[in-house]
């Protein structure tokens, strides 16, 4: 499940307007194209096609016809080499029909290869937004979940994609195919059930003050979502923490993680926050949702105060699944360790994916689910 990053957004107060009838495909949406960085800074990139394709050289404005087959592209001093064919710094590969395979995955749309300033190659998938979502949803949620939960995820993912356009413009694309944006795996990740959820909500996004919202989402709130300022320092009126009892069926909702003191000290030192001979650790402030706002670690050199979110990044988001935890030192001096007992998974802001599933099982529509997790939003076709 993905970790959403802060993207700055201006907005003014807007009342929640009427939603489209759940299950009714949205009409009249404008086609949007997104550019997704799928392989970054590679020494070589293998592209395969089961049919003919065209290679457009952006530098020379020329087009080379290529037959079906596999082509290995490598950076050169002048641009990009593709075997017997040579191109400038940017080449756009478009199949006559069907799809292209890059590495082990197949993609709709076209593939653009760019020689980076460091002399390596980046592959970009330029694709229709709705088709992009086909390759996102199954990577973010279970396709077997109730349709209303899948639709809620489709609207959130579409909104986040539109709000993120241009984020990586300096590198030639809008989004990354990882948790830095949303996990995207192309045709390999498509499923009829998640595709149906995208189609049923086609073009539908959430807005606030007339703008697409920062549609943050996470795996499991642990019983309460978090307000955005406690994670990213930026308050959004639509990202307010709410009591969330709907994700009780989330696997491993309650978790325990333990780290020995020497390893903890080493990780702090690598992060530039050294503290030898750790003796104690305690939560010194919590957020309204009960998460660790600040943590104090005491050692031979004094005390180190960290934000809970900073400690989570230092220790790893798979080790500290959330900041909704209690902490203590256990064991004796010879085998002492720090033990974290927690609930939930992810940053806790916005839509809880397991909570959305629980609400759908309880009979709520995707519109009701979205308006629960994102306050004061409007649902609009864009």
2 in a domain, yes or no? no
317 and 277, same structural domain? Answer: yes
Q: What is the per-residue burial (b if ≥16 Cβ within 10 Å, else e) of 139-168? A: bbbebebbbbbbbbbbbbbbbbbbbbbebb
Assess contact for 228 and 234: CB atoms under 8 A: yes
205 and 138, same structural domain? Answer: yes
* Angstrom distances, CA of residue 107 to CA of 1, 97, 125, 148, 188: 21, 12, 7, 27, 8
282 in a domain, yes or no? yes
288 and 237, same structural domain? Answer: no
60 in a domain, yes or no? yes
51 in a domain, yes or no? yes
Name the domain count of the chain: 3
- Domain termination residue (choose one: 119, 143, 172): 119
197 and 49, same structural domain? Answer: no
222 and 147, same structural domain? Answer: yes
* 247 three-class SS: helix
The count of residues in the chain is 382
Strand partners, 175: 36
18 in a domain, yes or no? no
* Angstrom distances, CA of residue 30 to CA of 27, 37, 199, 381: 9, 23, 14, 8
Per-residue pLDDT of the chain (382 residues; tens, 9 = 90+): 433 333 322 222 222 333 333 333 444 456 899 999 999 999 999 999 999 999 999 999 999 999 999 999 999 988 999 988 999 999 999 999 989 999 999 999 999 999 999 999 999 999 999 999 999 999 999 999 999 999 999 999 999 999 999 999 999 999 999 999 999 999 999 999 999 999 999 999 999 999 999 999 999 999 999 999 999 999 999 999 999 999 999 998 999 999 999 999 999 999 999 999 999 999 999 999 999 999 999 998 899 999 999 999 999 999 999 999 999 999 876 689 999 999 999 999 999 999 999 999 999 999 999 999 999 999 999 8
150 and 241, same structural domain? Answer: yes
228 and 355, same structural domain? Answer: yes
297 in a domain, yes or no? yes
Res 333: pLDDT: 66
233 and 258, same structural domain? Answer: no
- Domain termination residue (choose one: 119, 152, 172): 119
19 in a domain, yes or no? no
214 and 66, same structural domain? Answer: no
357 and 301, same structural domain? Answer: no
Assess contact for 68 and 52: CB atoms under 8 A: yes
113 and 51, same structural domain? Answer: yes
pTM for the model stands at 0.89
312 and 169, same structural domain? Answer: no
Distance, in Å, from the CA atom of 296 to the CA atom of 237, rounded to the nearest integer, reads 30
* Angstrom distances, CA of residue 371 to CA of 8, 234, 237, 255: 21, 20, 13, 29
DSSP state of 363: T
Range(s) of the domain holding residue 280: 254-343
81 in a domain, yes or no? yes
């Amino acid at each position: 499940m993905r970790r959403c990053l802060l993207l700055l957004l201006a907005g003014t107060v807007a009342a929640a307007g009427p939603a489209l009838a759940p299950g009714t495909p949205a009409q009249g949406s404008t086609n949007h194209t997104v550019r997704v960085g799928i392989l970054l800074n590679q020494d070589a990139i293998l592209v395969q096609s089961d049919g003919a394709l065209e290679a457009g050289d952006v530098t020379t404005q020329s087009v080379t016809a290529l037959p079906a087959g596999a082509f290995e592209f490598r950076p050169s001093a002048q641009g990009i080499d593709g075997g017997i064919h040579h191109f400038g710094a940017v080449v756009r590969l478009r199949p006559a029909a069907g799809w292209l395979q890059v590495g082990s995955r197949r993609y709709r749309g076209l593939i653009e290869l760019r020689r980076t300033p460091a002399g390596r190659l980046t592959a970009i998938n330029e694709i229709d937004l709705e088709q992009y979502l086909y390759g996102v949803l199954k990577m973010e949620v279970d396709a077997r979940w109730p349709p209303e939960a899948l639709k809620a995820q489709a609207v959130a993912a579409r909104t986040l994609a539109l709000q993120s356009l241009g984020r990586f413009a300096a590198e030639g694309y809008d989004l990354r195919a990882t948790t830095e944006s949303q996990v995207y795996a192309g045709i390999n990740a498509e499923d009829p059930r998640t595709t149906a959820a995208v189609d049923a909500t086609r073009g539908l996004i959430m807005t606030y003050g007339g703008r697409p919202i920062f549609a943050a989402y996470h795996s499991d709130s642990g019983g309460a979502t978090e307000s955005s300022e406690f994670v990213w320092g930026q308050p959004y009126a639509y990202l307010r923490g709410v009591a969330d009892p709907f994700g009780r069926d989330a696997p491993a909702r309650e978790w325990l993680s333990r780290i020995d003191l020497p390893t903890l000290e080493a990780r702090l030192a690598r992060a530039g926050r050294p503290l030898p001979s750790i003796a104690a650790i305690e939560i010194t402030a919590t957020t309204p949702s009960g998460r660790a706002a600040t943590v104090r670690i005491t050692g031979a050199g004094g005390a180190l105060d960290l934000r809970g979110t900073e400690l989570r990044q230092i220790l790893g988001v798979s080790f500290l699944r959330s900041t909704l935890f209690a902490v203590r030192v256990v064991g004796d001096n010879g085998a002492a360790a720090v033990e974290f007992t927690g609930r939930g998974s992810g940053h806790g802001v916005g839509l809880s994916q397991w909570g959305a599933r629980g609400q759908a099982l309880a009979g709520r529509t995707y519109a009701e689910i979205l308006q629960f997790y994102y306050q004061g939003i409007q649902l609009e076709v864009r």
